[in-house]
């Protein structure tokens, strides 16, 4: 059986290394999505909002990007869902609805929570109910 000459193998190896380096550079230099241009005050509000969400354990009943509890709906795009606005969200959170308890939070907590939900919504749009799990652990989008 003919063996490849040493020089060819080395060239092929160098070629693969170059592909790897080019691909790695490309992956890390092209942003997956464009982050919103937020002022530092808005950024602080958004980070505070994430803490509010954790403090009141919203994720035990709600999902974000499809992850979390399944008693309530996914909150990723709740900010821009049709016929809803900040007053609607405030009312639901302050007074609760069916299995969801009422949350008595300060104005500042509510403002930052809404800023977080708004920013979350701006990261993208997807209907998680349309994704079905595959046997190998990945998800595919169904029609
Ligand atoms: C005990 C479980 C539970 C917790 C904790 C909870 N929720 Fe809910 N939430 C629900 C359920 C269930 C619904 C759906 C109620 C319905 O319409 O029947 C809901 C509905 C909502 C809605 C309305 C969604 C829509 O599309 O109309 C919003 C917004 C919401 N929750 C936000 C929050 C936030 C923010 C928190 C944390 C401060 C939170 N929830 C904590 C159970 C929960």
Kindly give the distance from the C-alpha atom of residue 73 to the centroid of ligand 1, in angstroms, as a whole number: 7
SS3 for 22? helix
- Among 52, 62, 75, 91, which residue has the most ligand 1 atoms within 8 Å of its CB, making it the best to mutate? 62
How far is residue 57's CA from residue 69's CA, in Å, rounded to a whole number? 10
pLDDT at 4: 60
Closest CA to 69 of 79, 57, 77: 57
Could you list the residue range(s) of the whole structural domain that residue 100 is in?
Answer: 40-126
Residue 53 inside a domain? The answer is yes
**Any ligand 1 atom below 6 A from CB of 105:** no
Residue 139 inside a domain? The answer is no
Give helix 107-122 / helix 86-95 axis angle, nearest 10°. 130
Residue 10 inside a domain? The answer is no
Residue 103 inside a domain? The answer is yes
| Element housing 16 (H / E) | helix 6-29
pLDDT at 33: 62
CATH of the domain at 99: 1.10.760.10
**Any ligand 1 atom below 6 A from CB of 92:** yes
Strand spans (E) along 1-143:
63-64, 67-68, 131-133, 139-141
Domain total of the chain: 1
Residue 27 inside a domain? The answer is no
Work out the angle at residue 127's Cα, subtended by the Cα atoms of residues 45 and 109, and round it to the nearest 5 degrees: 20
Q: What is the pLDDT along the chain (143 residues), one digit of tens a residue?
A: 566 666 688 899 999 999 999 999 988 887 766 666 788 899 899 999 999 999 999 999 999 988 899 999 999 999 998 677 899 999 999 999 999 999 999 999 999 999 999 999 988 887 777 888 889 888 888 87
DSSP codes joined into one string, 23-58: HHHHHHHS-SSPPP---HHHHHHHHHHHHHHHHTTG
pLDDT at 124: 82
Give the DSSP letter of residue 112: H
pLDDT at 53: 96
Residue 29 inside a domain? The answer is no
Residue 12 inside a domain? The answer is no
Residue 3 inside a domain? The answer is no
């Amino acid at each position: 059986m003919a063996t490849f000459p040493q020089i060819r193998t080395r060239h092929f190896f160098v070629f693969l290394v170059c592909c790897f380096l080019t691909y790695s550079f490309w992956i890390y230099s092209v942003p997956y999505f464009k982050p919103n241009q937020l002022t530092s005050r808005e950024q602080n509000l958004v980070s505070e909002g994430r803490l509010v969400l954790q403090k009141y354990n919203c994720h035990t009943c709600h999902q974000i990007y499809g992850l979390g509890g399944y008693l309530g709906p996914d909150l990723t795009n709740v900010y821009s869902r049709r016929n809803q606005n900040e007053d609607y969200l405030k009312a639901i959170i302050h007074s609760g609805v069916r299995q969801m308890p009422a949350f008595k939070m300060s104005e500042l907590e509510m403002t930052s929570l809404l800023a977080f939900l708004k920013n979350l919504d701006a990261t993208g749009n997807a209907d998680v109910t349309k994704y079905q799990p595959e046997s190998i652990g990945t998800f595919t989008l169904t029609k």
